Amino acid sequence: MKRKITLLLLSALLVSGMANAQHGFKSEPIWAYSWGVGMGTMVPQGNLATHFNPGFALDTEVGGYYHDLFLMVNGGFSTSKIAKDIPVGESRWPAGTGSIHAFIGTNLGMNFDVDPFIIYPFAGVAYNFIEPNLETANSNPALGTLKVNGMGLNLGIGLDYDTTGESIGPIRKIGFRYQCQFPSYKEEGSMFDGTTHWITLRFMIGSYIIP
């Protein structure tokens, strides 16, 4: 229920913003694209938090813009430690060893200018997977082929500071982004139920207008 309410509120915000943007569009469309990177943390919740600790995260994205509307393809990964033994067939994924959480997603969003800041909610879908890191996978044949994967909902919001008037070289924007993912992993059982929260410090290092 909480997930549905959050999605409905975010959808309403996006639809309202799109309507306002359409109302204020100029006769000539403006297209642009950007590239950004971020670093921060991934925090699991629910049963995922029982078996995995928070970890360091990196992500990147490319975005295409039509005025204030945007389509963003993003991806990232996080390194984390196992908090509790996870059974894997006749073997186990032992506590204290390493794991990798990763995703790649497609999102639609809307920019809202609150000069000199930009607030941008977005929503989409993401392919998520969890697997042992290389050292852990090489230590046990049963872990070498293990990959937990599935599709899920992705909701997020970001806050950027426009640096185009500052002298910061190629960096066009600096900001924070929060996104919550609701992965639905294919594996049976409840140990992989839960959500992941990604909080990153962002740097947009490219932003271009398409003639």
Strands 55-66 and 86-88 come out as unpaired
The Cα 116–Cα 112 span in angstroms is 11
Domain count, the chain: 1
The range of the structural domain enclosing residue 136 comes to 2-210
Task: With cut-offs at 50, 70 and 90, classify the pLDDT of residue 176.
Answer: very high
In the prediction, which pLDDT does 188 show? Answer: 53
pLDDT tens-digit profile of 23-49? 343 334 578 888 999 999 999 999 999
What pTM was computed for the model? 0.81
Structural tokens at position 132: 């042992």
Q: Say which CATH number the domain at 198 has.
A: 2.40.160.20
pLDDT band, very low/low/confident/very high, at 18 (cuts 50, 70, 90): very low
DSSP string computed for 28-43: S--EEEEEEEEEEEEE
CA angle 6, 12, 15 (to 5 degrees): 140
At residue 165 the predicted structure's pLDDT band, cuts being 50, 70 and 90, is low
pLDDT for the residue numbered 174: 93
Reading the block at residue 145, the tokens are 């082929």
User: What does the alpha-carbon distance between residue 83 and residue 78 come to, in Å, rounded to a whole number?
Assistant: 15
